[in-house]
Amino acid sequence: MSDHPPEIPIGIEDVREAARRLEPWAHRTPVMTCSAIDRRAGASVFLKCENLQRVGAFKFRGAMNAVLQLSEEERRRGVVTHSSGNHAQALALAGRLAGVPACVVMPRTAPAVKRAATEGYGARVVPCEPTVEDRERTVDRLVEEHGYVLVHPFNDWRVIAGAGTAALELIEQAGPLDAIMAPVGGGGLMAGTCLAASGAMPEARLVGAEPGRADDARRSLQVGSILPSDDPKTVADGLRTSLGPRTFAVLSRHLERIVTAEEPEILEAMRFVWERMNLIVEPSCAVPVAALLVGRVPGVEGRRVGVILTGGNVDLDPMFRALADRWLGDGP
Amino acid sequence: MSDHPPEIPIGIEDVREAARRLEPWAHRTPVMTCSAIDRRAGASVFLKCENLQRVGAFKFRGAMNAVLQLSEEERRRGVVTHSSGNHAQALALAGRLAGVPACVVMPRTAPAVKRAATEGYGARVVPCEPTVEDRERTVDRLVEEHGYVLVHPFNDWRVIAGAGTAALELIEQAGPLDAIMAPVGGGGLMAGTCLAASGAMPEARLVGAEPGRADDARRSLQVGSILPSDDPKTVADGLRTSLGPRTFAVLSRHLERIVTAEEPEILEAMRFVWERMNLIVEPSCAVPVAALLVGRVPGVEGRRVGVILTGGNVDLDPMFRALADRWLGDGP
């Protein structure tokens, strides 16, 4: 991408400031433990439940932190982003709460339920073709026509600082940690986690997790430049993106390593969390848990490991049809 | 049952003592809010997440409180109960943690997964015929042969006081409440909730919830004696039991009313909690939420209502088969 990654203009103080800014708006989500996970992982695992955050994902933190920093004039113009995932709903809700118009560019191929949820929070949804080129063209056009302020899903310092507040709370709630893990898609959460931890708990090791089928960030850090992600086939749909220059810069400086998990391992870990913790987590969220359960994170034996559970947005419709068939089969 | 219901020998101090006793053992579960539920209910609803308790249900509190009060001699003899539900796993885990042998009488017809879970916590499972008579005969025989101490699932003051600690925490965590709701099966949780609330927040209204198809407790309180529950057909399998003399006595004195929810309402409320809160709750747990969502609780408009989410033990197997078919359909 570039031999000169961008400077990193933010640090722990920006994460702390974001935490103060978000305090009236974001849930302080609980940190849970589970003895069955501890036994399998051979470690004490502290799970920061951002699946219980507003809109069901950590993404609310970054989007809200960005919207709350707009000038009066920017607030009038409104915000725009491109996402078919949790960031879409996060920006939509942040806009509604702050009274700022929000517009989301979403591929025509996105599930109707995602579009409806985003519109349900009051955002305008503009469809685009499912290509990077058309997505960027559409965003550029909207910025030009309406003066919208772009809030990128991850390559944005305000979004990164906001995402980092989850790790800051985790550290406050769980106490000393030997390692902190999070999934890596575009890298916004992991970058924020790095900035929070390197300031608030510098001795903690920082470990990312990716699906083996979408390990572009791991390879990017190895070769020292951003490798594109080529529409990888993984159930972890939130982790198909490649890094941006800003998240790449932070991860290059702070991340110890990225571990991977395979598809059946991801689904098994997801099911483990559902069954043992009664928490709904999405496949992307289960990736670091999977790596811990199958023993793919070196050096955590007997240690205290924090993991950010990122989100729980799963289409439950086929599951509930299966349940309803069984339970209401005998009729009223 | 009797014209002279038993004296009520316990009160708020016993619940507070149980809370101190349980502090090293039970999770202090979070209290969550959900704006979508508030909008539908027209009230501020505070959900005490006992589905995130150990063994996935509030039942751990009562079982552990009972086991921790055994004498040295009783500890050596061990405990016994009859249950095919959450109390079975709760007593099994309580026994394991306290180093007390536990034995659970379970109907032959109980799902293999329930039996395996109970044995997984180290309890001995003794099968019986699926009738009340054989269940009691089997328990009596085990008590006689082995000297086991019976820990009844709900008609036991130690179990009632332990269950009440959930409401005590809810009151501490949520602040002033105008009403507190819980489901009513055998009545142990609701009785404990009554004792906790009447001591710690006497102005709160106390409202139970039952499936319309299993409203034996509602009718029992109306007629003033315990009506048996005749194997009712409801998805809320935890609420098929009838009251016991002790829970009947407490509910008769303290409960304002019992509201009901119909089967499709229960399933819809359950799905609402899964989708909007990313929490897995079982059908029995969804009953008070259902009553709130359909507006069947009088006088809560604009009020602060506490609800105990009782548990989340659902057999997820058919659901995960539906998901795996869809997600791994394209194969590795």
Kindly write down the DSSP assignment for every residue of A319-330, as one continuous string: HHHHHHHHHSTT
- What share of chain A in percent tops pLDDT 90? 88
Q: B278-320 pLDDT, tens per residue? A: 999 999 999 999 999 999 999 999 999 999 999 999 888 877 8
**Can you tell me whether residue B309 is helix, strand or coil?**
strand
The whole-angstrom distance between A165's CA and the closest CA on chain B is 19
- Please compute the mean of the pLDDT values over residues A296-320 and round it to a whole number: 93
Domain boundary pick from A98, A115, A150? A150
A321 vs B contacts (CB less than 8 Å): 322
Q: pLDDT confidence of A132, banded at 50, 70, 90? A: confident
In this complex, which of B30, B322, B330 lies closest to A322 when CB atoms are compared?
B322
- Please compute the mean of the pLDDT values over residues B92-97 and round it to a whole number: 98
Which distant-in-sequence residues (6+ apart) come within 8 Å of A16 by Cβ? Answer: A168
H or E segment and range at residue B105:
strand B102-107
- Please compute the mean of the pLDDT values over residues A8-34 and round it to a whole number: 97
B27 vs A contacts (CB less than 8 Å): 32
Residues of B with CB under 8 A from a CB of A: 27, 30, 32, 51-52, 56, 233, 235, 262-264, 267, 271, 274-275, 277-281, 283, 312-313, 316, 318-324, 326-328, 330, 332
* A292 and A208, same domain (yes or no): yes
Q: Provide the sign of the torsion angle of the four alpha carbons B116, B117, B122, B128, taken in this order.
A: negative
A56 vs B contacts (CB less than 8 Å): 278
Checking if the pLDDT of A1 tops 60, the result is no
* B187 and B70, same domain (yes or no): no
* A290 and A189, same domain (yes or no): yes
A327 vs B contacts (CB less than 8 Å): 235, 267, 283
Return the residue in A278, A279, A281, A313 with the most chain B beta carbons within 10 A, the one to mutate for interface testing: A278
Q: Would strands A31-32 and A44-49 be described as parallel, antiparallel, or unpaired?
A: antiparallel
The verdict on a CB contact (< 8 Å) between B267 and A51 is no
Q: Are A138 and A113 in contact (CB under 8 A)?
A: no
Checking if the pLDDT of A191 tops 60, the result is yes
Residue of B nearest to A276 (CA): B56
* B95 and B197, same domain (yes or no): no
The whole-angstrom distance between A309's CA and the closest CA on chain B is 12
A95 inside domain: yes
Structure-derived torsion over alpha carbons of residues A192, B32, B319, A35, reported in degrees to the nearest 10: 70
* A139 and A267, same domain (yes or no): no
B331 inside domain: no
Predicted model pTM: 0.94
Q: pLDDT confidence of A289, banded at 50, 70, 90? A: very high
B327 inside domain: no
* A186 and A277, same domain (yes or no): yes
Q: pLDDT confidence of B331, banded at 50, 70, 90? A: very low
B323 vs A contacts (CB less than 8 Å): 267, 318-319
* A184 and A291, same domain (yes or no): yes
In this complex, which of B30, B32, B267 lies closest to A324 when CB atoms are compared?
B267
Q: For residue B87, what are the CA distances in angstroms to A150, A276, B23, B94, B161?
A: 53, 16, 19, 10, 15
Cα–Cα distance between B313 and A307 in angstroms, integer?
24
A300 inside domain: yes
CATH number at residue A102: 3.40.50.1100
B56 vs A contacts (CB less than 8 Å): 278
B6 inside domain: no
pLDDT score recorded for residue B321: 80
pLDDT score recorded for residue B84: 83
Checking if the pLDDT of B110 tops 50, the result is yes
* B22 and B95, same domain (yes or no): no
- Taking all residues of chain B, what is their mean pLDDT, rounded to a whole number? 94
Q: pLDDT confidence of A84, banded at 50, 70, 90? A: confident
Q: pLDDT confidence of A64, banded at 50, 70, 90? A: very high
Q: Provide the sign of the torsion angle of the four alpha carbons A167, A172, A173, A175, taken in this order.
A: positive
B162 inside domain: yes
The whole-angstrom distance between B311's CA and the closest CA on chain A is 9
* A119 and A170, same domain (yes or no): no
Cα–Cα distance between A285 and A309 in angstroms, integer?
5
Domain boundary pick from A100, A125, A150? A150
A315 inside domain: no
* B39 and B179, same domain (yes or no): yes
* A180 and A262, same domain (yes or no): yes
A318 inside domain: no
In this complex, which of A32, A283, A324 lies closest to B52 when CB atoms are compared?
A32
pLDDT score recorded for residue B1: 46
* A200 and A290, same domain (yes or no): yes
pLDDT score recorded for residue B328: 65
The verdict on a CB contact (< 8 Å) between A279 and B52 is yes
Checking if the pLDDT of A2 tops 70, the result is no
Q: Which domain holds residue B115?
A: 60-150
Q: For residue A154, what are the CA distances in angstroms to A167, A187, A206, B195, B229?
A: 16, 7, 18, 50, 56
B283 vs A contacts (CB less than 8 Å): 327
- Number of structural domains found in chain B: 2
* B266 or A130, greater pLDDT: B266
Domain boundary pick from A100, A132, A150? A150
Q: B244-260 pLDDT, tens per residue? A: 999 999 999 999 999 99
